[in-house]
């Protein structure tokens, strides 16, 4: 096998490994609440998430993949070593956080890893401000919109259900939460599922296998399948943290959190904004908990989660930069 082809194969395998870790640590966000409220078993929720994550990626276009693949750093001034370094930084950091049961943002890990590796390889001119504007907009979508939408929706539901019995409410929203968790899984695929597909396509362009940036259908199917397998293998640690430790959840709370998060994610996907689905659903769960009272949220657990979020950017950027310098010699 020629050296160029071997390098491309190695990088594509690393992209799929990072996608697997994404399924391990990020895709469980879409189904944590429906498992926590015992509306679905983990096995049922994983199967549903696998199908609808793939459907979301297939149906909603490639706007986010385009932003990640050619809008964050300049493709024309990097090589495969930059992509490899970014994938390794994601794998190392996300696996470490998974061991602690912390839901990290693979979106931020990916963007930070690509940026750090690109800076080490090509200098400050490698960064594209237009793409970073969308990243910053994604932070606003996940934080402000996720929390406020969940809070408002939950307060509205409390008012509508003020005369309903707890048994009736639980039974009704047990059924409705199946729909909201399906909506969440679909929206997760529409945004998060596209990101590594964009990187996979970028590697194909850098390796000379694609003449121009595009995301072929086989790439969508391959990456979606790998993410689903990752969710099935390692998703329970993250589900437990999100579903049981942030706040006490009933089906009505899960419905509100998933619905609010899903609308925020789908809106971002339509605009080509790569936002963190982890942040969005976590913040929505906090918004639901705060609708009862602020003390209903377990802020000690939340502080650990927020600390992991804040560390993701600098840690993955540093890891990406260091690995890019090392891999430059190899590639």
Q: How many CA atoms lie within 13 A of 120 on its CB side?
A: 26
| pLDDT for the residue numbered 300 | 57
| pLDDT for the residue numbered 243 | 45
Question: Residues, the chain, total?
Answer: 331
| pLDDT for the residue numbered 244 | 46
* Euclidean distance between CA atoms 75 and 77, whole angstroms: 6
CA angle 94, 283, 227 (to 5 degrees): 40
| pLDDT for the residue numbered 11 | 95
Residue-wise pLDDT for 141-166, tens only, equals 788 888 899 999 999 998 988 888 88
List the structure tokens of 231.
Answer: 């969710």
Taking a C-beta distance cutoff of 8 angstroms, is the pair 60, 188 a contact? no
List the structure tokens of 53.
Answer: 């994550």
* Chain CA centroid to CA 263, Å: 15
* Chain CA centroid to CA 7, Å: 27
pTM for this one? 0.84
Mean pLDDT for each 10-residue chunk of the chain (331 residues)?
78 93 69 72 77 80 86 91 94 81 76 94 89 85 85 91 84 85 85 87 92 88 82 59 54 87 89 84 81 57 67 91 87 60
| pLDDT for the residue numbered 331 | 60
**Whole-angstrom distance between the N-terminal and C-terminal Cα of the chain?**
15
Residue-wise pLDDT for 33-85, tens only, equals 677 677 777 777 777 877 887 788 778 778 888 889 888 999 988 999 999 99
- For 127-163, give the DSSP string: B-HHHHHHHHHHHHIIIIIHHHHHHHHHHHHHHHTTT
Q: Which of 35, 9, 26 is nearest to 178 (CA)?
A: 35
| pLDDT for the residue numbered 305 | 65
């Amino acid at each position: 096998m020629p050296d160029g082809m071997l390098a491309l194969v190695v990088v594509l395998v690393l992209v799929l490994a990072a996608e697997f870790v994404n399924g391990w640590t990020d895709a469980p966000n879409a189904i944590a609440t429906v498992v926590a409220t015992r509306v679905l078993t983990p096995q049922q929720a994983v199967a549903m998430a696998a199908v609808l994550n793939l459907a979301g990626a297939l149906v909603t276009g490639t706007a986010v993949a385009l932003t990640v693949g050619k809008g964050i750093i300049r493709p024309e001034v990097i090589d495969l070593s930059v992509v490899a370094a970014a994938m390794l930084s994601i794998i190392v950091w996300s696996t470490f956080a998974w061991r602690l049961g912390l839901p990290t943002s693979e979106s931020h890990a990916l963007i930070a890893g690509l940026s750090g590796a690109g800076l080490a390889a090509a200098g400050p001119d490698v960064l594209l401000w237009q793409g970073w504007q969308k990243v910053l907009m994604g932070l606003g979508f996940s934080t402000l919109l996720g929390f406020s939408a969940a809070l408002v929706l939950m307060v509205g539901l409390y008012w509508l259900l003020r005369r309903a019995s707890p048994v009736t409410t639980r039974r009704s929203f047990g059924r409705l939460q199946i729909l909201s968790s399906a909506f969440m899984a679909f929206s997760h695929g529409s945004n998060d599922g596209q990101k590594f597909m964009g990187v996979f396509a970028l590697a194909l362009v850098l390796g000379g296998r694609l003449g121009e940036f595009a995301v072929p259908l086989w790439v969508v199917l391959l990456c979606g399948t790998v993410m689903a397998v990752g969710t099935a293998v390692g998703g329970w640690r993250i589900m437990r943290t999100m579903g049981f430790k942030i706040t006490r959840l009933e089906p009505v709370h899960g419905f509100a959190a998933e619905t609010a998060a899903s609308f925020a994610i789908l809106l971002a996907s339509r605009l080509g904004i790569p936002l963190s689905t982890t942040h969005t659903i976590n913040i929505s769960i906090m918004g639901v908990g705060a609708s009862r009272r602020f003390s209903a949220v377990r802020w000690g657990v939340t502080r650990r989660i927020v600390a992991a979020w804040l560390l993701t950017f600098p840690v993955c950027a540093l890891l990406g930069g260091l690995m890019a310098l090392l891999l430059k010699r190899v590639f």
